[in-house]
Structures are given as C-alpha cells and as structure tokens.
Amino acid sequence: MSKVPEWFLEQLRQRVDIVEVISDYVQLRRSGRSFSGLCPFHNERSPSFSVSADRQMYHCFGCGAGGTVIGFIMDIESVTFVEAVILLAQRAGLQLPDGVGDAEAARPNTKHQRYREAHELTAKLYSYILMNTDAGVQALTYLEKRGISRKTMVEFRLGLAPKAGDTVVTFLRKRGFQDAELVACGLAVEMGTRTLDRFRGRLMIPILDKKGEVIAFGGRTMEQDVKPKYLNSPENDLFHKSRLLYNYHIARKTIRRDRTALLLEGYMDVISLSQAGIQQGVATLGTSLTEEQAKLLKSDCDKVIISYDGDEAGRKAAVRAIDILVEAGLEPLILRIPDGLDPDEYVQTHGGESFKRLLGRQTLSVVQFLLDDLRQRANLVSSVGRTEYVRQALQLLAERATPVEQEYELRNLSQEFNLSVETLKEELRTFAKQNIRRSQHRDRALSSERIQPLEKAVSKASVGLLQAVLFDKEACMYVMDKGVTELAEPVQTALLARLYAWRLSNPDASSAAFVDELDDESLGKVASSLFFGEIPELTHDLLDDYVRTVELHHLEAEYRDLLRQWIDTEATGDETQSREIKLQVERLQNQIATLKRPRGS
C-alpha cells in the first residue's frame, strides 16, 4: 500500500461507487439503507452479503469477508493492492500518480523482488524448454502418459530443467543477476569454484504464493533410480514452505465458495484433480501439515477433506493432520481411496467423475477413520489382540465421539466381537468417569452461584468501543484515557490495539483508510462489520457504560476461574490454599457488586 499516496486512495474511494462495482459480480437488491445479495466468497442460499452505499463498505455476515471497494477487487480478482487500485482508477477515469502502475517504480528493486524476478524468469525458461525444444520431448511424453494435457501444463506453468549444469545460471547472469543472489534464493548451488543450477534433468513445478507469483520450485525426477523423487527449493527469506500451500492462490475462490478444502499430499495429485474439474485441491510442500497452513485454511473454509496417499505413510500423515486441523477450529474429514492408490493414480485409472463419487460416498469422520486406523494396526487373530483393540476403540470413543457416534460404533463392536452393548457401555463409562464427575461437580457449584453471563451485553459494549475508536477521534482519546486494553474476544482486543496505534499516527484519516491498511484477514473481518448497523451518539455516559460492562465481564470470568480453583483445592484438602483463594473470591465479589450498583448510588 505504501506505493500509493493516501490522498489518491481517498480520492479513489470517493469517486468509485462500491455498489456499482460489486453489482458487476453480485446481483444486489436494496434492503433498507443498504444492498444485499448472495456472497461471492462462499456458497449460500439466503443472502448474508451486505453493501453500504453510505459508508462505501461491504461485509458478509456469513463468512465474515468485508472491506472497502479496493479490498473487494483484491479478493474477487485475486490481485495485489496496487493492481486493484490501478483497475479501479481506470474504471473511474482517474490519472494515476507518478510511479503507480509503472513496473519499475511500483516494484522497487528490493532483495525480495529480485528473488521474485529471478524465479519468474526461470519459470518462463523452464516452460520454454519443455514446450518448444527437443530436450523437452521426453518430459512431454512422460506427462502425456500420465494423462496431463498440454492445456493443463500451461495452466500450471510446468517446465523442464535441462541436464546441463549451468543453463539457468548463465541465463540469469545475462540479465544482471549475481551468482550470490542465485545461491541465496535457491536457484543455484556452489560446487567448488563453480556455481551450478540447483535443478537438473527434472520436471519443474513452480510454487506460487497467495498473490500468484513464483517464489520456489518443486522438481520431480522422471527416472526410477534417481533420488530423491522430489527436490524442493530450500527455504530462504522469501520462501517458507510451512506457511504455504501449493495451488492455494487458484483454489481459494472455490474453497471460499464451498467452505471446504481438499488437502492432498503431492503436486501431481493437485494437477490431476484440477484437470478433472476438482478445483479446491491444495497440497503441503513436502512436509506434514503445519499450524500455519491450518490457519491459512481456516480463513477461508470450515471443513477440510484429507485425501492423502492410501499407503501406511499416508495414513500416518492423515492422523497427524487431524489434530492440527481440529486445533485450528476446522472439521476434518478423511477420504478413503480404495486399493491403496493416491488421488493421482485413482484419477488416471478410474477418471475424475469416479473420484467425485468417492468424495460423496467414501468420506469418513475422524472417529470412523481413527477406528479404521486402529483396526489396520491391531492383531485381531489372537484373543489378547482383540481385547486390546476393543479397549483402545472404547477409549477413542470416550475421548472423541459424539453420543450418536458412540451408539452407532458400540453396536458395531457388539456384533463383531459378540459382546453385549451394555457391557461395552459400562466399559466406556469407566474411561470417562473421572472427567464426568469433575465436570458435574463444577457445573453444580457454578449453577448454585447463579452466575449470569454477560455475553450479549459485553459483545455490544466491545463493538461500541471499537466503533468509538474507529469513527470518532475525540471518543477514541476518551476510551484510551479510561485505560481500556482488553475487550470480550481476543480478536477484538487485537483490533483495539491496532486502532489505538493507527489513530495516534493518523488522527484525521478516514475510517476506510484503516480497513485498507489492515494486513490481517481476521481483523479485517471484524473491522468491516463495524460499519454496519446503527452507530449511537457516543456520549461520555454511553462510553462509561461500555467500559463498565467490559470490566464486569472480565471480573466475572476471573471469578469463575477462581471458583473452580477453590473447588479443586477443597477436594485436595489443602486448607491453607483454600483460605487464600476464598479471600480472593470474596474480594472479586465485592468488586462485582460495586460495578453492578446503579451509577451515582
């Protein structure tokens, strides 16, 4: 964003009508003072997508997408901030400021940009060698035998690294790149006194970032006896494989629309399925799924179907991925592919339509998959092995299964191992007994205190404080003077901190400018929602009420935590610690009572 002057961005926001722009992509209908329609970023039947002409902002109350007209064009067209500004300026007939839109000025000669340019040139060279030279014939034949069409090769920018040792290095030297740069960005290696190409004699698969720019490569050997089968670019300042997913820049639109991603293991899986019309496939880059990759998926979907290779290694990788996805707040499902095939092999053998039917018929829940995994590793021939399998299965059901899943799987175990359902249920209760008793004890204690949660009130107060800081400079200073640093939810607290810093640096800037400056998608979703609904008159009395409600919410939460500690401590018989916690509980009770008193009493 720093490439575009703020005065021009403000002019652009005022000149371009967000309703007109979005109407090119979404059928909008007037709904009160705003417009509504079906969200283009996720699949829905009832309109939850709202556009405000007054505030020049959009927000989806279904998936949370939102922002200014610039942000909309970035998301819908998968372009950069500067590219979105250029498109809108052309639409509005505005002349771009000097330097904006010029390739050299808009993309400064930084180290990262040099790396990107080197990779882009190399990708074009690899593609040319594959598609237009005699050296590429063998690789073309190899790809065609695997069912990959020329059209797909072009779409995924596939190429060939020649066997000659310094083709890429020589090519890039002539274009002004130094050997040290090529080594640093992973395109070359030093061998004694020589600098040689890192990739030689391999089918090349460009790895693109979220903006669609080449930043690394995966190189696949076409010979049986060459190891490793895949060779990836090394990590560097530009390329961090734990933070990227292959094909994410293309698959993202479909993932957002369906709220479901298909997680694959290899590049060729993604390419084959895409050619077969399955567009939501992404792959990890030669490593197990990471927390960063799971968070990336969470920003665009709710479910992830894991479709790893059907061999033992693929099953183990799926087990590891499940907990990471659950921790990120995603619902994992697992696709079971018959005969131990990987997705690419299955599509080659049975076709894309058959794979689509698999997605509908062979997708397992986490519990079903983990039970199946237990079975694969169990020794069901011996009585000891069967007993151990049943015990592990019951433990799994106690930890992970819903009551419906428990009932269904208990009946299956009963039939298979000739055990009564009641016996199995009794064993299941044994695994869960300690947790159940503790949970029931706490619930009774908390219920006896009749603690009334403040969810609705504190949510309204937190939103009100964020609106005050975002829309009113004087109200912002008042809230800051009150020392408010924490709101109801962590994402709101993070947004408040960003708003404080922004307001202090930009006291007179427009609220839309703040939304455009946000580089965190989760914060952007919350920020765009603040523009919708009525914004009351931000008097000091109202702000004081908001502050008091938020403070009361945090004291109530602290009180509940201390109450749980007190219950646990009493159960252990530690009277000294119990008395100390009791004093803290009483102190909090007094503070809560004081805050609940009517103002002025």
381 token code pair: 């021939």
pLDDT of residue 250: 92
* 3-state DSSP assignment of residue 363: strand
Is the pLDDT at 22 greater than 60, yes or no? yes
Distance CA 450, CA 444 (A): 10
DSSP conformation letters of 219-282: EE--STT-S-SEEEPPP-SS--GGG--BTHHHHHHHHHHHTEEEEESSHHHHHHHHHTT---EE
More confident residue, 577 or 302: 302
pLDDT at 156: 97
Inform me whether the pLDDT recorded for 276 exceeds 50. yes
- The confidence score (pLDDT) of residue 142 equals 92
Residue 436 has pLDDT above 70, yes or no: no
- What pLDDT is attached to residue 566? 75
Asked whether the CA dihedral 254, 318, 292, 228 is positive or negative, the reply is negative
Question: Measured between alpha carbons, how far is residue 515 from residues 50, 57, 68, 91, 470 in Å?
Answer: 16, 10, 7, 22, 10
DSSP string, 157-218: T-EEE-SSTTHHHHHHHTTT--HHHHHHTTSEEEETTEEEES--SEEEEEEE-TTS-EEEEE
Q: What is the pLDDT of residue 598?
A: 66
pLDDT at 180: 95
* Per-residue pLDDT tens digits for 38-54: 888 887 778 899 999 88
pLDDT tens for each residue of 148-188: 999 999 999 999 999 988 999 999 999 999 999 999 999 99
* 393-to-317, 381, 429, 437 alpha-carbon distances in Å: 20, 17, 13, 22
CA-wise closest residue to 451 among 353, 334, 341, 553: 553
DSSP 535-600: -----HHHHHHHHHHHHHHHHHHHHHHHHHHHHHHHHHT-HHHHHHHHHHHHHHHHHHHHHHSPTT
Q: Rounded to two decimals, what is the model's pTM?
A: 0.63
DSSP at 29 = E
Please state the rounded mean pLDDT for residues 315-324: 91
The 10s digit of each residue's pLDDT in 365-418 is 999 999 988 988 899 999 999 999 999 999 899 888 888 999 999 999 999 999
pLDDT band at residue 433, thresholds of 50, 70 and 90?
Answer: low
Residues 69, 57: Cα–Cα separation, whole Å: 7
For the segment 549-564, the average pLDDT, to the nearest whole number, is 79
Q: What is the DSSP letter of 419?
A: -
Q: Is 374 exposed, middle or buried (0-12, 13-18, 19+ CB in 10 A)?
A: middle
Per residue in 469-525, pLDDT tens?
Answer: 999 888 889 999 888 888 888 889 999 999 999 988 888 888 888 998 888 888 888
Confirm if 446 and 468 have CB atoms less than 8 A apart: no
pLDDT in tens, 40-90: 888 777 889 999 988 899 999 988 899 999 999 988 877 788 888 998 998
The Cα 99–Cα 2 span in angstroms is 12
Give the pLDDT of residue 220: 93
**Integer CA distances (angstroms), 256 to 65, 265, 271, 538, in order:** 10, 21, 19, 36
Q: Reduce the secondary structure of 282-333 to three states and give it as a string.
A: EECCCCCCCHHHHHHHHCCCCEEEEECCCCHHHHHHHHHHHHHHHHCCCEEE
Beta-carbon count within 10 A of 166 CB: 16
pLDDT over 60 (residue 125): yes
Residue type present at position 193: T
Residues 191-248 have pLDDT tens digits of: 999 999 999 999 999 999 877 899 999 999 988 788 888 999 999 888 989 889 999 9
| Confidence band for 439, pLDDT divided at 50, 70 and 90 | low
pLDDT at position 175: 95
Sign of CA dihedral 502, 504, 508, 511: positive
Residues in the chain: 601
**Minimal CA–CA distance to 287: which of 315, 319, 321?**
321
Comparing 43 with 265, the larger pLDDT belongs to: 265
Specify the amino acid at residue 40: P
pLDDT at position 103: 42
- DSSP code of 338? G
For the purposes of burial, counting CB atoms within 10 Å of the CB of 444, is it exposed (0-12), middle (13-18) or buried (19 or more)?
A: exposed
Closest CA to 265 of 289, 250, 284, 279: 284
Model pLDDT, residue 243: 85
Q: What is the mean pLDDT of the chain?
A: 86
